[in-house]
Amino acid sequence: MAVEVRIGEQTPTKSLILPYDDSLGDEAIELYEKSGRKAFDWQKFIVDAIMARNKNGLWVHMNFGYAVPRQNGKNEIVAIRELHGLKNGERILHTAHRTNTSKAAFERLVTILEASGYENQVDFTSIKARGNESIELIGGGRIDFRTRTSTGGLGESFDLLVVDEAQEYTDDQRSALMYTIAASPNPQTIFTGTPPTPISSGTVFTRLRDNALQGSTEDTGWAEWSVDKQSDVRDKDLWYQANPSLGLRVSERNIQAEVGDDDIDFNIQRLGLWIQYNQKSAISENEWKELHTDTLPWLTGKIFAGIKYGYDGTNVALSIAVKTVDDKVFVETIDCKSLRSGNGWIIHFLRNADVQQVVIDGANGQNILAEAMKQAGLKAPVLPTVKEIILANAMFEQALFQQTIQHKSQPSLFQVVTNCDKRNIGTSGGFGYRSQIEENDIALMESMILAHWACAEAKPPKKQKIRY
């Protein structure tokens, strides 16, 4: 007797598909399966929706976004659409956040073409230029694979724009790319990715999802496999709900191996959870209020100090963080003063407090303060790198979501934290914060984040062993 194999849910948990009577989906699937690959039912569902046409022969969905947890085969859908586009003479631009992702998409399509009987350099030509690959089908279309930048694609014209790793797609990149398909008689943009993590830099994908599911956009479709809220990472029913290819190309055993200490990351990456960010402020009043404590918690260990010199060279802020007995981090701001006040007040505090570590950021003052600390006989501070600043902000946001921070709702800190936006740092998706209100100095919040990072990262001091 045959044993029935359980497979993941083949229809999206959430979707908005516009009505249609005709689709080129079957035609595209047939072309793709000549390579020996087989499309799953959920992939066919998405392809049909993407390639739906209206009575004028135009795409029903000029924009289509879909989000699926990792390793389920979402990129095969893009390959199916691109293969059909090549066959039918379209100019296609496939963009990705990382060079390796762009290269993998190029190699995937070359492999499918060759497995379908097309001979490289005879039936099609391919150019392997890392981060700028291309394929041109003889007598057909052309596809370019690019790593995204804020200026990439300007001056070029395409029929199909593919936004891979869409969770990292920024407004600047959108401004550079959206007009590349404006001259096409039948343009289409496909967004594919996973829900953004706390350190994802993109905002376009989230906004597309929200607008589509609210029905506030035209000519736009959406589909996702997800959970609605942070859930039990060991609930196998949810694994099958959020992973359509579970039992087909993903195994329970492999997912089990992914379960670790970071429940939020598992919820995002494997269960498709969309973390809800406040649209007015990167951190909402409710999010910050939920971390409030009426009484000072029981503290353990020494103080960690974070010092931030403001970007405009006007102020310097000092905050502290201390571990609590229930392994949370209590944060508090000491002060934010004009640079004209000098560093004496900071040195006075550090001398008289039981401080384990000091972190100083801000090129316009950190070295001067570090020298003053040396002259005062204090322990040398940590001067963080850009990479460490990015890590500090990411850890702070993770702690915010996991509610492992405590504070006493200082009005000055409350005003800054609940009126802030994210800003990009570096070129690898890092972020920091900026104030939405001109008179609020973000240095106050940044000093608190530095103190939190130092405290959260610190290991308990080793106990000295004495042998006789």
pLDDT in tens, 36-80: 999 999 999 999 999 999 999 999 999 999 999 999 999 999 999
For residue 28, the domain's CATH number is 3.40.50.300
Q: Which of 237, 269, 301 is the last residue of a domain?
A: 269
Predicted confidence (pLDDT) at residue 329 exceeds the cutoff of 90: yes
Predicted confidence (pLDDT) at residue 280 exceeds the cutoff of 60: no
Beta carbons within 8 Å of 291's beta carbon, 6+ residues apart: 400, 403, 405, 406, 407
User: Which of these ranges, 201-210, 317-326, 394-403, has the smallest mean pLDDT?
Assistant: 201-210
Predicted confidence (pLDDT) at residue 368 exceeds the cutoff of 70: yes
274 in any annotated domain: no
Q: How confident is the model at residue 427, as a pLDDT?
A: 66
Average the pLDDT over 217-237 and give the result: 94
Q: Are residues 226 and 300 in the same domain?
A: no
144 in any annotated domain: yes
Average the pLDDT over 387-400 and give the result: 92
Predicted confidence (pLDDT) at residue 155 exceeds the cutoff of 80: no
Residues 341 and 318 sit within 8 Å (Cβ to Cβ): no
Would you call 269 helix, strand, or coil by DSSP? helix
Q: Are residues 393 and 365 in the same domain?
A: yes
463 in any annotated domain: no
Predicted confidence (pLDDT) at residue 130 exceeds the cutoff of 90: no
Look up residue 211 and give its amino acid. Answer: N
Q: Are residues 223 and 345 in the same domain?
A: no
Q: Are residues 341 and 221 in the same domain?
A: no
Q: Which of 239, 269, 299 is the last residue of a domain?
A: 269
374 in any annotated domain: yes
The domain total for the chain is 2
Helix ranges restricted to H, 151-203: 171-177
Q: Are residues 314 and 259 in the same domain?
A: no
Residue 184: CB atoms within 10 A of its CB come to: 15
Q: Give CA 24 to chain center in angstroms.
A: 32
Q: Are residues 362 and 428 in the same domain?
A: yes
Q: How confident is the model at residue 86, as a pLDDT?
A: 97
Task: Give the angle 177-206-435 at the CA atoms, nearest 5°.
Answer: 90
- What are residue 91's DSSP bridge partners? 142
466 in any annotated domain: no
Choose between 129 and 64: higher pLDDT.
64
46 in any annotated domain: yes
Q: Are residues 109 and 227 in the same domain?
A: yes
Q: How confident is the model at residue 150, as a pLDDT?
A: 60
Predicted confidence (pLDDT) at residue 5 exceeds the cutoff of 80: yes
Q: Return the sign of the alpha-carbon dihedral for residues 167, 173, 179, 180.
A: negative
Residues 449 and 396 sit within 8 Å (Cβ to Cβ): yes
Q: Are residues 212 and 112 in the same domain?
A: yes
The domain in which residue 381 lies consists of 285-457
Q: Are residues 209 and 295 in the same domain?
A: no
For residue 350, the domain's CATH number is 3.30.420.240
Q: Are residues 78 and 26 in the same domain?
A: yes
Beta carbons within 8 Å of 334's beta carbon, 6+ residues apart: 318, 319, 320, 349
- What are residue 67's DSSP bridge partners? 193, 224
Predicted confidence (pLDDT) at residue 200 exceeds the cutoff of 80: no
Q: Are residues 333 and 448 in the same domain?
A: yes
Report residue 337: phi and psi, to 5°.
-125, 160
Q: What is the distance between the alpha carbons of residues 257 and 239, in angstroms, rounded to a whole number?
A: 13
CA distances for 199 relative to 150, 366, 393, 428, 432, angstroms: 19, 26, 8, 10, 9
Average the pLDDT over 337-348 and give the result: 93
User: Residue holding tokens 């594919």?
Assistant: 192
Pairing of strands 91-96, 160-163: parallel
pLDDT digits (tens, 9 = 90+) for 370-385: 999 999 999 999 999 9
Would you call 77 helix, strand, or coil by DSSP? helix
Q: Which of 215, 240, 269 is the last residue of a domain?
A: 269
Percent of the chain with pLDDT over 90: 72
Q: Which of 324, 281, 290, 271 is nearest to 417 (CA)?
A: 281
DSSP string, 226-246: --SS---TT-HHHHHHH-TTB
Q: Are residues 254 and 374 in the same domain?
A: no
